[in-house]
Amino acid sequence: MKGVVLAGGLGTRLYPLTFVSNKHLLPVYNKPMIFYPIETLVKAGITEVLIVTSGPHVGHFLGVLKNGKELGLKHVEYAYQEKPDGGIADALSLAESFADNDNLAVILGDNTTDADISESVKNFKEGALIFLKEVDDVNRFGVPVFDKDDPQKIIAIEEKPDKPKSNMAVTGLYFYDNKVFDIIKNLKPSGRGELEISDVNNAYVKEGKLKWSKLDGYWNDAGTFRSLYNAGRYWAEKNE
């Protein structure tokens, strides 16, 4: 399995911090934010990684990540998303040649977690696997709708719903087989004008190929001022 870290976008929710640097290079305690998702992949045995980025500060990644050796990567590539507001699925589409028919572990560059996903990596064969986490502000995320007759079965993913049907958020960590690229090619932009990752996941739902796992341990997306602060505080306390 190969890894993809999605580190695009303009980080508008973190202006003015992101006027001077890409969001994913901002510090979370003592490391650049993007170190955390990369370390999650490396800890699970994934050492070939593609970094997808966009916006005016893309050159900064080379100076920070270099060739990835210091983080335990054997191979790192970079891809440029020309439309930073094109959506997560649009960014993922750039990984097709890198994947080379292999399965992918996809993680958002603002996700920090101490979860160990190595067993999930070993056991993944086909379809899609999403990781869920119970959160208080669930309407900021994609939210699963569970089958009333089978609570372990997801029948749909709703993107940022006003009235969430569960308190479980779809974290920014996904496993996909190589069919994901055909799915993305057939997506239509949402009302926000983006190719939504929830639509990708719903396509797997329709095929009966979507599974889910609860993400154990700490998880936080550091995309807002409050969550960036909370993430920094957690990692400071964990490492002191």
d(CA 68, CA 63): 11
pLDDT at 139: 85
- The pLDDT of residue 42 is 98
32: Cα separation from own chain's centroid = 16
Spatial separation of the C-alpha atoms in residues 88 and 105, rounded to whole Å: 14
| Per-residue pLDDT tens digits for 28-72 | 999 999 999 999 999 999 999 999 999 889 999 999 999 999 999
- Residue 51 carries which DSSP code? E
What tokens were used for 164? 């969430």
The distance from CA 160 to its chain's CA centroid, rounded to whole angstroms, is: 16
Return the closest-CA partner of residue 50 out of 111, 5, 102. Answer: 5
Which residues, given as ranges, of the chain have pLDDT below 50?
none
Q: Amino acid letter at 56?
A: P
Instruction: Specify which residues 219 forms β-bridges with.
Output: 113
What is the enclosing helix (H) or strand (E) of 233?
Answer: helix 225-239
| Cβ–Cβ under 8 Å, residues 55 and 9 | yes
Q: What confidence score (pLDDT) does residue 236 get?
A: 97
Burial 104-142 (b: 16+ CB within 10 A, else e): bbbbbbbbbbebebeebbeebeebbbbbbbebeebeebb
Cα–Cα distance for residue pair 49/78, rounded to 1 Å: 9
Record the pTM: 0.94
Q: Are 33 and 25 in contact (CB under 8 A)?
A: yes
Are the CB atoms for 2 and 48 separated by under 8 Å?
yes
